[in-house]
Amino acid sequence: MPGEEIDPELARRLRALHQEGGGFVRIEQIAGVIGELLERIREEHSRQEVFLYRELGGLSEYIKAIKAEIAALRPYEIQNHYLQVASDELDAIVDATEAATHAILGAAEEIEDIAGRLDDMEAVRLTEIATRVYEACTFQDITGQRIGKVVRALKVIEERVMTLVAAFGPGVEERAERGEASAGAAELLNGPQLGGDASRQDEIDALFSGNG
Amino acid sequence: MAVDRDMSVLIVDDYKTMLRILRNLLKQLGFNNVDEAVDGGSALQVLRSGASYGLVISDWNMEPMNGLQLLKEVRSDPKLRSMPFIMVTAESKSENVIAAKQAGVSNYIVKPFNAATLKAKMASVLGEF
């Protein structure tokens, strides 16, 4: 094409042919040169493709290894067991401390009631004690809020784990579902139990006495 | 001017224990007309129902409407905008305090708090009692 630079190698070969032929170049000679050039280009491309193929192969192995590692982490076990248990345990802490706090507040209110029936000095003293109890009980609100933050953090971790599983495709999910619970975890006791899982002392006593 | 201890106080918190503690401390301070709400939305409903309140004491972290949103609603309502409003919250970051101040909070108490702090902040808003 006019104005475009000719390949230097092609130019050199054409010049040589031109000189050899005394100013004439046969069309077969030009075809031969172009054929050689095309072969060279094919070889060059082939080397690049092999390199690229090897790189992609390495990348594929790397992804497989990561998928295996994620599967080994048992993401569904993390989601369905550990995170769920942790969340339930934290909820149980909030419920238990709330119930205990109400019991303590009830006792402090009774102290105030009694104070109202006593002489001034004793009444003031008892009211001060009740006030200190009320002040101390504000801990429940703070711990409840802090535990709420931890529960929200667990939710975020759960979402991130599941996003990672989804990103690496069904292979990870299948292997994760086939996974068995680790022996170490199974050997541990899990007390104290949550309300739904727990037996009351009288139910346990009944089992020991043969009535259960 | 003497503080009218017969006035109604609205306390807003999603923790029942905190409502109970506030009610008891207010009772000790001589405020026996105390109503409760468990979030900003229900508090706003009570305030707009026509009942007269001399003070709102509200938590910040509540759902669906939090204490700051409640405060902004109160301050944008012509009938409620001059109502004394104390925020009682665990949110102690300066940017939160500034946000509440900019929204028009009357005073700010950080949890956990004691009875003396509650009395002092109420006195700063209502006058000595």
Give the model confidence (pLDDT) of A160-182 as tens digits.
888 877 777 666 665 555 544 44
pLDDT tens-digit map of B89-120: 988 888 999 999 999 999 999 988 999 999 99
pLDDT band of residue B122 (cuts 50, 70, 90) is very high
- Give the C-alpha separation, A134 to A109, whole Å: 9
Instruction: Tell me: pLDDT of A21 over 70.
Output: yes
DSSP A6: P
Mean pLDDT in chain B?
Answer: 94
Closest Cβ–Cβ partner in A109, A141, A144 for B24 = A109
User: Residue A185: its pLDDT value, please?
Assistant: 47
User: Residue A17: its pLDDT value, please?
Assistant: 83
**E strands of chain B, at which residues?**
9-12, 34-37, 55-58, 85-89, 107-110
Q: Which residues of A touch B25 (CB under 8 A)?
A: 131, 134
Q: Which residue ranges make up each domain of chain A?
A: 8-65, 74-173
User: Residue A193: its pLDDT value, please?
Assistant: 63
Beta strands at B9-12 and B55-58: parallel, antiparallel or unpaired = parallel
User: Residue A204: its pLDDT value, please?
Assistant: 66
| Residue with more model confidence, B15 or A25 | B15
CB B75 within 8 A of CB B104: yes
A99: closest chain B residue by CA: B17
Closest Cβ–Cβ partner in B61, B112, B115 for A131 = B115
Output phi, psi for A53, to 5 deg: -60, -45
Output phi, psi for B37, to 5 deg: -140, 150
Alpha helices in chain A (DSSP H): 8-20, 27-72, 75-77, 84-115, 120-136, 139-167, 170-178, 183-186, 201-209
CB B117 within 8 A of CB B109: yes
SS3 A84: helix
CB B5 within 8 A of CB B30: yes
Burial class (CB in 10 A: 0-12, 13-18, 19+), A121: exposed
- Give the C-alpha separation, B23 to B32, whole Å: 8
User: Residue A63: its pLDDT value, please?
Assistant: 81
Closest Cβ–Cβ partner in A102, A131, A145 for B28 = A131
Burial B93-122 (b: 16+ CB within 10 A, else e): eeebbebbeebebbbbbebbbbbeebbebb
% of chain A residues with pLDDT over 90: 24
Q: Which residues of B touch A105 (CB under 8 A)?
A: 17, 20-21, 24
CB B78 within 8 A of CB B51: no
User: Residue A74: its pLDDT value, please?
Assistant: 81
One-letter amino acid of A25? V
Cβ of B28 and A127 within 8 Å?
Answer: yes
Measured from the Cβ of residue A110, the count of other Cβ atoms closer than 10 Å reads 11
| Residue with more model confidence, A28 or B5 | B5
pLDDT tens-digit map of A81-126: 888 899 999 989 989 999 999 999 999 999 999 999 998 999 999 9
Q: Which residues of A touch B34 (CB under 8 A)?
A: none
Q: Which residues of B touch A131 (CB under 8 A)?
A: 25, 28, 115
% of chain B residues with pLDDT over 90: 85
Instruction: Tell me: pLDDT of A29 over 60.
Output: yes
Mean pLDDT in chain A?
Answer: 80
What domains can you pick out in chain B, each with its CATH number?
A: 9-113 (3.40.50.2300)
A97: closest chain B residue by CA: B17
Q: Which residues of A touch B28 (CB under 8 A)?
A: 112, 127, 130-131
Quote the distance between the C-alpha of residue B4 and its chain's center: 17
Cβ of A105 and B18 within 8 Å?
Answer: no
Distance from CA of A76 to the nearest CA of B (A): 30
**Which residues share a beta bridge with B89?**
B110
User: Residue B80: its pLDDT value, please?
Assistant: 96
Instruction: Tell me: pLDDT of B25 over 50.
Output: yes
| Residues near B15 by beta carbon (within 8 Å), at least 6 away in sequence | A98, A140, A141, A144, B59
Give the pLDDT mean for A50-72.
Answer: 83
One-letter amino acid of A42? R
User: Residue A198: its pLDDT value, please?
Assistant: 64
Radius of gyration of chain A (CA): 40
Residue B102 structure tokens: 């900019």
pLDDT band of residue B1 (cuts 50, 70, 90) is low
Burial class (CB in 10 A: 0-12, 13-18, 19+), A56: exposed
